[in-house]
Amino acid sequence: MRVLAAMSGGVDSAVAAARAVEAGHDVTGVHLALSKNPQTYRTGARGCCTIEDSRDARRAADVIGIPFYVWDMAERFHEDVVEDFYAEYAAGRTPNPCLRCNEKIKFAAVLDRAMALGFDAVVTGHYARKADDGLLRRAVDPGKDQSYVLAVLTPKQLAHSMFPLGDTPKDEVRIEAEERGLAVARKPDSHDICFIADGDTSGFLKKKLGSEQGEIVDAATGEVVGRHDGAHQFTIGQRHGLGLKVPAANGKPRYVLSITPVDNRVEVGPREALRIDRIRTGAPVWLGGERTGTFEGEVQLRAHGEVYPATVTVEDGGLTARLGKPAFGVAAGQAMVVYDPDPDAELGDAVLASGTIDAAESVEAAGV
């Protein structure tokens, strides 16, 4: 097959490209330029879209012996990922930009262009497995599993995607990179949000969304316990950086319970008030075949987060999951991914569906 290898400049994508060549595919490497001014994005080994990364990707392609190109995706990335990030925070939601980048850039814009150019598939260094049955399954290495952030792919996108690293632990991938003579073998993994140069999310949002004084209120008493200069700087479940002036009567820490952008209000309270056991999502993406009615599964609410047994119901155009045990600090805008636990551990859990969380609540508190 003619395969396009998305090469980020890290060790994972380099080894994935090398394995695709070794498997007999006709491979071309491509690096995505995601910023018109790369200096405004994170630099050094902690990034995933920097000038250094582009150079590392080119050197890896030379070692592997494949053609290499840089594609300018800056405008599309800004519109679909960065502007979405701003809009979600402005609406009081907590987005996952890496998940959105996978959905809109790596497996939409890139795959569309690749198919138009005659390529059969896109290969990436994500840690996930695509089984013979065509389902997306968890990686062998649970600490690196990225099936959660890939669950936004459509069945068509998944059909034209390859994940050669899903069956290999990360430490073995680094050893393989060294054996192949790839200079990125010991390059640290990327972290944080690539388009926030200094890692200061609050400051980044303030520059775009501005500052407006508002109140931080104790949800139980209605007492104003602090002030802020922008509700968009907070997220549900946040504990640190609240700047509260009035301590709780019991001396325990407070957490962000709700954010109301309309009146720029943030409510805080005890951790127990973050307890939820029912989650509602918008329209789901089905990867394991569309279902109706109610079924049993397991849901994951954060990348590398805890997994919860759940009863899932398809209703009102979305999904409603009743959790078998409570979760804490779940924010609208995050993703809920539903897995089908497979009794055969060698196969691994398969992704059934994903949906963006619209609401999370406690059934008991709601009086249901």
Q: Closest Cα partner for 125 from 63, 64, 183, 170?
A: 170
Q: What is the C-alpha R_g of the chain? A: 22
Cα distances from 217 to residues 185, 211, 235, 255, 259, in angstroms, run: 49, 18, 15, 11, 10
- Distance of alpha carbon 273 from its chain centroid, rounded? 26
Q: How many CB atoms lie within 10 A of CB 106?
A: 22
Q: How many CB atoms lie within 10 A of CB 67?
A: 10
Task: Give the list of residues 6+ apart from residue 140 with CB closer than 8 angstroms, or none.
Answer: 129, 166, 167, 168, 169, 348
Give just the sign of the alpha carbon dihedral 147, 153, 155, 160.
Answer: negative
Q: How many CB atoms lie within 10 A of CB 160?
A: 18
- The reply to whether 48 belongs to the active site is no
- The reply to whether 49 belongs to the active site is no
Contact status, residue 297 vs residue 341, Cβ threshold 8 Å: yes
- Distance of alpha carbon 323 from its chain centroid, rounded? 21
Q: Which amino acid is at 14?
A: A
**Is residue 209 exposed (0-12), middle (13-18) or buried (19+ Cβ within 10 Å)?**
middle
Q: Which member of 48, 49, 98, 101 is catalytic?
A: 101
Contact status, residue 183 vs residue 191, Cβ threshold 8 Å: no
Cα distances from 331 to residues 91, 92, 238, 279, in angstroms, run: 12, 9, 10, 10
Contact status, residue 336 vs residue 278, Cβ threshold 8 Å: no
Tokens of 185: 């073998």
Q: Quick check: helix, strand or coil at residue 161?
A: strand
Q: Give the residue numbers marked as catalytic.
A: 101, 194
